Amino acid sequence: MAEKEYIIFYSGDARKRHRHETLKGKVVKFIVQLEIKHEGGWKEVVRYDCAHGYAHRDSYNLRGQYGKEKLSLEFEDALCFADDDIDDNWEVYKREFLKGGSP
């Protein structure tokens, strides 16, 4: 099984964590999440993964509460979507998170 993991910093207080595993060229596990540094620690803001056997997105608020949205995508497509979505919208997600928006 091949594994790839990296972190991309957008600013001093915002980063994307990316990790995926492939087997014979097919994505079998992934997680892509936006993290914001807040009150001395890194907090999850948006996370895409397949932890429950299907692709989904978790959106968090400052209290650590989250909402789950199922994605009707294959893991490969969900991984690409997650990377692009966070790259394109991290500033909006950060702003909403810091305003205390609900999940």
Q: Which pTM value belongs to this model?
A: 0.92
For residues 30 and 49, the answer to whether their CB atoms sit within 8 Å is yes
Which tens digits make up the pLDDT trace of 43-55? 999 999 999 899 9
Which tens digits make up the pLDDT trace of 66-89? 999 999 999 999 999 999 999 999
Instruction: Write down the pLDDT at residue 103.
Output: 56
Provide the β-strand partners of residue 68. Answer: 58
**How many C-beta atoms surround the C-beta of residue 89 within 10 A?**
13
Question: What's the chain's length in residues?
Answer: 103
Nearest-angstrom CA–CA distance, 29 and 39? 31
Instruction: Write down the pLDDT at residue 1.
Output: 85
Q: Where are the domains of the chain?
A: 2-98
Which tens digits make up the pLDDT trace of 12-52? 999 999 999 999 999 999 999 999 999 999 999 999 999 98
